[in-house]
Structure 1
Amino acid sequence: MIGELVRLDLKVGTRGYVYPIYLLVALAYGLMVMAFPEEYRSVVVPIFLLLEPGLVGTFVGTIIFAEKKDGTIGALAVTPLDWRAYILAKTLLMALVSLLAGAIIFLIGTRSLDGLPYVLAGTLLVSTVYTLLGIAISAKYRDLDDYFVPLLGVMVVSLLPFAHYHGYLTGGIWKVLYAVPSYPSIYFFSAPFESVSAGALLRSALGLVIWGVLAYYFAKVRFYRYAVEGLR
């Protein structure tokens, strides 16, 4: 069932130019990275990787709104289609597209294969987390404008770890940023450019897996309450 939903979603998204545009933006990001001097890429590449394959998962909410309007989600309440499979299919498809986008940004931006496995691993984990968060947050809203308010908040908070990682937010209070799911991804995205210990990568992976479990539970509860049950 999940495979069928992924194929259908990919077909619809491709016809609507959603995923092609997404990959064109990744191409543009890769070309922008090329314009930076090589010594700045260790900072620039991780930011673009988080912005595109990572945080763009939260924009799955715009797809949710479209499917509310055309009755796709409403059908989940009256058909045998499993709404949990719907969530997993959306997450899987966004993860796969994000992997391709991340590879495009990194390969074009750096013109190198060195460190690509770190980038793909981080992209897979962080895009999964943010897609699930996007589903959870958007489920409650019926107006796209209302959704962009919490979405903007998520994006701002998720970019703060970069400032802490690079030593701009040095106060002890800023250690709270370690709990933000974007923080672990920085270690994966920085690994191609600097030495990152295996222990740091393992802890980062564990942190993102824990966030993924929490985000899935959050998405499952809110999606059923607001999107499925709320449309009966």
Structure 2
Amino acid sequence: MIGRLVRTDFKVGTRGYIYPIYLLIALAYGLVVMAFPEQYHPIIVPIFVLIEPGLVGFMFVGTGIFAEKKDGTIGALAVTPLEWRSYILAKTLLMVLVSLPAAALIMGIGTRSLNGLSYVLAGTFLVSIVYTLLGIAVSSKYHDLDDYFVPLLGVMVLSLLPFAHYHGYLTNEIWKVLYAVPSYPALYFFKAPFEEISMNTLMWSGFALIIWSGIAYHLARIRFYKYAVEGLR
């Protein structure tokens, strides 16, 4: 069931140029990174890799849900034997499968090297799951991009703050709360190709993202059924 949903969604998204545009954005990010001197890659690459599978994925899954609300696809879940949890998992799996080549494009084209790509792909896999599920959870309540813009902007700003803390720009003790933001553990994976990150740190970062995946799935499951399937406001 999930496999069929993934294939169908991929065909629809490809015909609507959603996934080709997604990969073109990754290509553009890679070219931007390539324009920077090599010493800036440890800063620029992690930002773009997070933005692509995380924040862009968060936006794309939301706009996809809006479109499917309008054409009645999601409403049909309430009256058909299709398991709506399968819909959530299929959306997540598809975004992960698209995010991995996107991250590879940014890394490979931007740095002209694939050293450390395994760390980037591992972080991309986990962070894509988290942000896709959060995108489903948040967007389920809204009906168009105008309403979605404020929470989208809020998630984007909050997710980028860990970069400022990591590089020493937010030094007050209160900013340690940013360790709880899912982009922070992902940052260690994206930094690993450029600086030495201990395996212990990567292990705990992966564990944190797995916990976040469980939280995000729980939120997506509840809010998608309440607002999208049942149509409650």
After TM superposition, the score normalised by the length of structure 2 is: 0.98
Q: State the distance in 1 between where 2:114 and 2:42 align.
A: 15
Deviates further, 196-205 or 142-151: 142-151
Distance in 2, Cα, partners of 1:159 & 1:119: 17
> What is the aligned length?
231
Give the whole-Å Cα distance in 1 for the aligned partners of 2:86 and 2:208.
24
- Report the AA paired with residue 206 of structure 1: F
Alignment of 1:98-177 (within 5 A): 98-177=99-178
Contact 2:141 2:223 in 1 (8 A): yes
Secondary structure of 1:230's match? coil
Alpha-carbon separation, structure 2, partners of 1:143 and 1:189: 32
Between the two proteins, what is the percent identity of the paired residues?
A: 76
Counterpart Cα distance in 1 of 2:87 and 2:101: 22
Q: Hey, what does 1:214 align to over in structure 2?
A: 215
Alignment partners' CA distance in 1, 2:174 and 2:114: 38
Check conservation: 1:91, 1:132, Cα contact below 8 A.
yes
Q: Secondary structure at the match of 2:163?
A: helix
Shift of 1:156: 0.3
Any gaps of 5 or more consecutive residues in structure 1?
none
How much does 1:144 deviate?
Answer: 2.0
Alpha carbons 1:57, 1:128 under 8 Å: kept: no
The 3-state SS of whatever aligns with 2:230 is: helix
- CA distance in 1: counterparts of 2:113 and 2:206, whole angstroms: 24
Q: Which residue of 2 aligns with 1:29?
A: 29
8 Å contact kept, 2:182–2:209:
yes
Q: Tell me the alpha carbon deviations over residues 155-213 of structure 1, each in whole angstroms, 9 at most, x when there is no partner.
A: 00000000000011011000000000000010000000000000000010000000000
Contact 2:142 2:148 in 1 (8 A): yes
Structure 1 residue 10 corresponds to structure 2 residue 16: no
Runs of 5+ consecutive residues of structure 2 not aligned to the other structure = none
Greater mean deviation of Cα atoms: 138-147 or 40-49: 138-147
Q: Partner amino acid for 1:11?
A: K
Find the residue that maps to 2:23 and give its secondary structure.
helix
Whole-Å Cα distance in 1 between the matches of residues 145 and 52 of structure 2? 20
**CA-to-aligned-CA distance 1:11-33 (integer Å, 9 cap, x gap):** 00000000001101100100100
**Map of 1:194 onto structure 2:** 195
